[in-house]
Amino acid sequence: MEKDIAKILFSQDDLDNKVKELGEKISKDYKDKELVLIGVLKGASVFMSDLMRSIDIPISIDFMAVSSYGLSTTSSGVVKILKDLDHSIEDKHVIIVEDIIDTGLTLHYICENLKSRKPKSLKICTLLDKPERRKVEMTVDYKGFDIPDEFIVGYGIDYAEKYRNLPYVGILKRNVYEK
């Protein structure tokens, strides 16, 4: 797998430090509140696992699985819910945990869908953000890193269901996905 990586953007240490920082901020912001983290599968699974261990207040978790990429490298903009929440979020403080925000189309859809379920508050936490590719305006409340407009993998993020297990975030070589 390493041979397919053009460059490592964030090492395991970089990721660990940023996740700890985000967890501390969320813990402070939600002290004495009922907080639900909603992970967007599959990409956010590694980030969310580490993030929730960095939060030192009681939380509950849930997951959604959505699809807008398929095996492509760009979002189609058509969002399909593959797995919905298991529990109600009505009157609860909710943070959506994402691996990466690109165009924002998928996340915008998720936000609108969850707002209709009447949470007390709804915020966004992402590890990686590509603000220059944004097609819809949105506020990112907790952000790890801004990244360049490159196709990245690792730390839960895949290309064609591969590379999720890399302990770092790296840029995938173009020849891998332009076959």
Question: Mind telling me the catalytic residues?
Answer: 102
List, in sequence order, the alpha helices (H) in 63-126: 105-115
The four Cα atoms 128, 150, 105, 61 give a dihedral, to 10 degrees, of: -30
Residue with structure tokens 């261990």? Answer: 53
- H or E, element range at 40: strand 35-41
36, 60 Cβ separation under 8 angstroms: yes
What's 67-78 look like in SS3?
A: ECCCCCCCCCCC
